[in-house]
Chains A and B, each alone.
Chain A
Amino acid sequence: MQPERHDIELSVNGTVYRRAVESRTLLSDFLRHDLELAGTHVGCEHGVCGACTILLDGAPIRSCLMLAVQANGHELSTVEGLAGNDGELHPVQQAMHDHHGLQCGYCTPGILMTMTAYLKQNPQPTEHELREALSGNLCRCTGYQNIVDAMLSAAQIMRAAAP
């Protein structure tokens, strides 16, 4: 007997997708393998490491803790949508490059998504506040220092550019 499928419609980075998904397909797997948006990474599948963080209607969530079927009717943002259409990097991406905030790059997409949402909500964080906001994303390579520097710098750049 075939497993039941549900028709869903969702937008990811502004593009609308219509798919039929199995009940138990995790959103992380759906993004990566059904939509072939492999920039979102999977690190633990129990909600701790943060590598799979994406934005659901603008709010950062763990895509490994959501079923694809639950994303029906929602707007998702993933790392693939950060850079401009012309390829210009988003300030948080550029800052990570400028400050060497990534080494292996595996945790990076989750951090980028967490931080874009956070900096929108708190455009002028102190270092401590930033570290608090970052504490839900594990990195095993960088020791976080350069990520913190990158994000403080990105925040400043984004504030300066804001109308």
Chain B
Amino acid sequence: MTTRFFGAPVKRNEDRKLLTGQGLFIDDVELPDMLHAAFLRSHVAHARIRRIDVSKALKRPGVTAVYTAADLGAYWKPGPILVPPPPIEGSIFNERTQVPLAKDKVRHVGEPLAVVVADNRYIAEDALDDIVVDLEILPAVVDCEDALKTATHVHDDLGSNISAHVRQTKGDYRRAAANAHLILKRRFLYEHGISSPIETRGVVAQWNARGAQMTIWDTTQAPVFVRNGLAAMLGLGERQVRVIAPFVGGGFGPKIMMFYPEEVVLPWISMRLNRPVKWIEDRLEHFFATTHERGQIHDAEIALAADGRILGIKDVFLHDTGAYDPYGLTVPINSQCTLLGPYVVPDYDSTFTAVFTNLPIVTPYRGAGRQHGVFVMERLLDLAAHELKIDPAEIRRRNLIPPDAFPYKNEIIYQDFEPLEYDSGNYEPVLDKALEAIGYKQFIGEEQAKLRAQGRCVGIGVACYVEGTGIGPYEGAKVQVQSNGKVNVATGIGTQGQGHFTSFAQIVADELGVDVTDVDIVTGDTDQFYWGAGTFASRGAVVAGTAVSEASRAVRKKALKLASDAFECSEEDLVLADGKVSIAGIAQKFIRLGDLAERANPMRGAVAPGTEPGLESTQYFGPPMGATSNGVHAVIVEVDPQTFDLKILKYVVVHDCGTVINPMILAGQIHGGVAQGIGNAFYEKLSFDDQGQLLNASLADYLLPTALEVPRMELDHTVTPSPLNPLGIKGAGEAGAIPVGPLFAQAIEDALDLKRKEVELLEIPLSPSRLFELTRKARKK
């Protein structure tokens, strides 16, 4: 394959549509006779439902129907578990999944109680006010530690609030502790926030009774799974259901959660009323109705040798899973595994208890629990560095897994159900590049002292992480050359801005010798491609990309075979370029790829046995395990010593995600991830009161970073290809977001000289007010 597009910063095929406002997003779906739904949601976090009276709502002009759980009859059932618990010995998992409409009990603010179907959303919302709900309010469980002690149970039949309990070990931590020169123990609090994409969720369901066909538009990251699940629920065959994920305005994880109540209820309504129905989540709903990530409490201990080498880590943590646990153990297992980072940790003992709370469901959001683990490890190393008087970058260097140790086995089970194994990596050059780019030596050596002498509080931070990416089960792709010479590609994943329409086209273009703009990619339409899993866990490029590559290669082979038959020459003599197959050196002897495709679908003659018509191939790729990317972030910050506000002076990311398909798209992913990381570290905090009410359910008070909070970033990368797929690619979607919390903590501690003042930053998010509170003890001394 001659690479013309692969690896190049090719501009995106999908841009024109989006730039001219012509991209179809969910709320752009307009169907004749369409009705609009609005959900009545609980205003309290925990209550028994005594009665729901919809009679007044039914009488409102413009209202077609109002449904509660009772109306759903046998259709009502808790959703399927999405990710069953990995096979970890001794683990406990109590499956309690969300329901389409609350019956008997509500378990979090925002849980849907009823749905109104009306001529438009305005009237539907009017009708919500007509519904009378009689609730017996119960105390709310909102705190993880409290959840373990309280007699109030989110799920009455469970007898406790325990969702899961898992212990994983590697080696024997007691050995590490016994041999340690230093043991440090701390409690860490890490809260991740909500994804808050600029586009909220939405579902449009259209039942065609005569054709017995259901079409669903859904802002999902996993259209194939949604199709399969809804078909089963609706009692339809999979081929009777088509799920289309149109342009989706940002996914980040929570849009792969399924089956949301709205996904389950809308198709049912459409079948019942035999009319199309639309539901668009508004921003207020989004704070409750779309899943969150939230907090963990870690009691962690690290055992070190005198030179700063890690001998072992022991960690016991609580994980808030919210009112239900449809996503199994994915988030806390990611925390558990990713804590190990790029470091050699001979002995590891990690236990977590996931607890139910009366808060919205927790499912993966960009980073998917990795942030929490990385925070613990990076902070432990910083604390150790201070105790042992080793430079923070140096202590990390000393612990990095050496380049000859790959594949590196960490033994414990990862979210892909396989023992955690890093496929490849070369960590030290990444650290070196980051230190060089941020000017580490120079800053520590002279800059910082100079600026401090001017009264400026400046500090530096360095954080390392790995990111498990590209997990299975599989993806597939169908590549087909059309008679007009354009190439169609279909794959089962969806797209939420990652540039699949371009990156996949680059792969095909190089393989088939066509222009990247002549490759049309279809994602997210289950009628176009039947099989797949979805975009999550930084796997799109790796898994679907590989499938696209395999399918392209197969098509290339077919083209060469056909052409070699036509020209009566050997395949080695042929060149695929500029949309043509030609004989090398004899430019006039060519056939257009499109014409070749047409030839391959003859009106007369025969298609030889063992071959297929057309220039088309469908291939699948299922990686045996995930590929591990890694990176280092470095930052220089300035903190106002009076207001404690923070300015980022310099931000560097060095990343290794193996072979890069499109460096421009990759950079965009890093930028966006870092922006979310900055939000997580210093701006975004869900403020719940003790009754489970969210006090800042608006974008005025849930603070997303703007162009003034996100700095210019300098990016660099190294390339350590993955041996797990032919192209050597690893995922990169979540990398930017993962280490920003500990990075900020380290840099702020440095800026405010907190180590000397004996103040430790062991929590995220931080904020000026929080820094003020945490440092006041030091001021009092």
Interface 0/1 of A122-162, CB less than 8 Å to B: 00000100111011111111111111100000000000000
Give residues 274-321 of B contacting A (CB, 8 Å). 282-283
Residue on B nearest A51 in the bound complex, by CB: B198
Residue on A nearest B18 in the bound complex, by CB: A105
Please tell me if the beta carbons of A102 and B15 are within 8 angstroms of each other in the complex: yes
Please tell me if the beta carbons of A103 and B19 are within 8 angstroms of each other in the complex: no
A42–B698 Cα gap in the complex (Å)? 14
A104–B18 Cα gap in the complex (Å)? 8
Interchain nearest-CB distance for A130 vs B (Å) = 8
B residues in contact with A142, CB < 8 Å: 668, 671-672, 675
Please tell me if the beta carbons of A145 and B713 are within 8 angstroms of each other in the complex: yes
A residues in contact with B19, CB < 8 Å: 79, 89, 93, 96-97, 102, 105, 108, 112
A90–B252 Cα gap in the complex (Å)? 30
Please tell me if the beta carbons of B704 and A141 are within 8 angstroms of each other in the complex: no
Please tell me if the beta carbons of A104 and B197 are within 8 angstroms of each other in the complex: yes
Please tell me if the beta carbons of A43 and B283 are within 8 angstroms of each other in the complex: yes
Give residues 697-748 of B contacting A (CB, 8 Å). 698-700, 704, 706-708, 710, 712-713, 736
B residues in contact with A44, CB < 8 Å: 283, 698-699
Interchain nearest-CB distance for B217 vs A (Å) = 14
- Chain B: number of interface residues, binned into ranges: 35 or more
- Chain A: number of interface residues, binned into ranges: 35 or more
Interface 0/1 of A75-95, CB less than 8 Å to B: 000111011000001000100
A residues in contact with B23, CB < 8 Å: 105
A residues in contact with B712, CB < 8 Å: 127, 145, 148
Please tell me if the beta carbons of B15 and A96 are within 8 angstroms of each other in the complex: yes
A residues in contact with B676, CB < 8 Å: 140
Asked if B665 is at the interface of the complex by the 8 Å CB criterion, the answer is yes
Residue on B nearest A146 in the bound complex, by CB: B668
Please tell me if the beta carbons of B699 and A138 are within 8 angstroms of each other in the complex: yes
Asked if B498 is at the interface of the complex by the 8 Å CB criterion, the answer is yes
A100–B12 Cα gap in the complex (Å)? 8
Q: Which residue of A22, A33, A104, A143 contacts B713 across the interface (Cβ within 8 Å)?
A: A143
Interchain nearest-CB distance for A148 vs B (Å) = 7
A40–B23 Cα gap in the complex (Å)? 11
A15–B16 Cα gap in the complex (Å)? 22
Asked if A46 is at the interface of the complex by the 8 Å CB criterion, the answer is yes
Asked if B465 is at the interface of the complex by the 8 Å CB criterion, the answer is no
Interchain nearest-CB distance for B80 vs A (Å) = 28
B residues in contact with A127, CB < 8 Å: 712
Q: Which residue of A46, A135, A139, A147 contacts B283 across the interface (Cβ within 8 Å)?
A: A46
Asked if A106 is at the interface of the complex by the 8 Å CB criterion, the answer is yes
Interchain nearest-CB distance for A81 vs B (Å) = 9
Asked if B90 is at the interface of the complex by the 8 Å CB criterion, the answer is no
Question: Quick one: given A97-B11, A140-B197, A145-B671, are A135 and B699 in contact (CB under 8 Å)?
Answer: no
A48–B703 Cα gap in the complex (Å)? 10
Please tell me if the beta carbons of A106 and B250 are within 8 angstroms of each other in the complex: yes
Inter-chain residue pair count (beta carbon < 8 A):
178
Please tell me if the beta carbons of A106 and B30 are within 8 angstroms of each other in the complex: no
Give residues 661-688 of B contacting A (CB, 8 Å). 664-665, 667-668, 670-676
A residues in contact with B699, CB < 8 Å: 44, 46, 48-49, 138
Asked if A5 is at the interface of the complex by the 8 Å CB criterion, the answer is no
B residues in contact with A135, CB < 8 Å: 706-708
A106–B251 Cα gap in the complex (Å)? 11
A residues in contact with B664, CB < 8 Å: 100
Give residues 625-673 of B contacting A (CB, 8 Å). 664-665, 667-668, 670-673
Please tell me if the beta carbons of A104 and B496 are within 8 angstroms of each other in the complex: yes
Residue on A nearest B671 in the bound complex, by CB: A143
Asked if A7 is at the interface of the complex by the 8 Å CB criterion, the answer is no
Please tell me if the beta carbons of B122 and A24 are within 8 angstroms of each other in the complex: yes
A105–B14 Cα gap in the complex (Å)? 9
Asked if B25 is at the interface of the complex by the 8 Å CB criterion, the answer is yes
A residues in contact with B247, CB < 8 Å: 104-106
Please tell me if the beta carbons of A97 and B713 are within 8 angstroms of each other in the complex: no
Q: Which residue of B21, B251, B670, B698 contacts A40 across the interface (Cβ within 8 Å)?
A: B21
Please tell me if the beta carbons of B708 and A102 are within 8 angstroms of each other in the complex: no
B residues in contact with A104, CB < 8 Å: 197-199, 247-251, 496-497
A39–B122 Cα gap in the complex (Å)? 21
Asked if A60 is at the interface of the complex by the 8 Å CB criterion, the answer is no
Question: Quick one: given A24-B122, A45-B282, A106-B198, are A146 and B21 in contact (CB under 8 Å)?
Answer: no
A142–B15 Cα gap in the complex (Å)? 14
Residue on A nearest B197 in the bound complex, by CB: A140
B residues in contact with A22, CB < 8 Å: 122
Asked if B223 is at the interface of the complex by the 8 Å CB criterion, the answer is no
B residues in contact with A136, CB < 8 Å: 706
Please tell me if the beta carbons of A41 and B199 are within 8 angstroms of each other in the complex: yes
A138–B283 Cα gap in the complex (Å)? 14
Asked if A38 is at the interface of the complex by the 8 Å CB criterion, the answer is yes
Interchain nearest-CB distance for A2 vs B (Å) = 9
Most chain B beta-carbon contacts within 10 A, residue among A89, A140, A146 = A140
Please tell me if the beta carbons of A138 and B668 are within 8 angstroms of each other in the complex: no
Asked if A55 is at the interface of the complex by the 8 Å CB criterion, the answer is no
List 18 interface pairs A-B (beta carbons < 8 Å), by A numbering.
A38-B21, A38-B25, A39-B21, A39-B22, A45-B282, A83-B20, A100-B9, A100-B668, A103-B250, A103-B672, A104-B250, A105-B247, A106-B197, A139-B198, A140-B676, A143-B670, A145-B712, A146-B667
Enumerate the 3 nearest inter-chain pairs by beta-carbon distance, A residue then B residue, closest first.
Answer: A39-B21, A106-B249, A105-B18
5 further A-B contacts with Cβ under 8 Å, apart from A135-B707, A144-B671, are: A96-B19, A102-B19, A104-B198, A104-B251, A137-B706
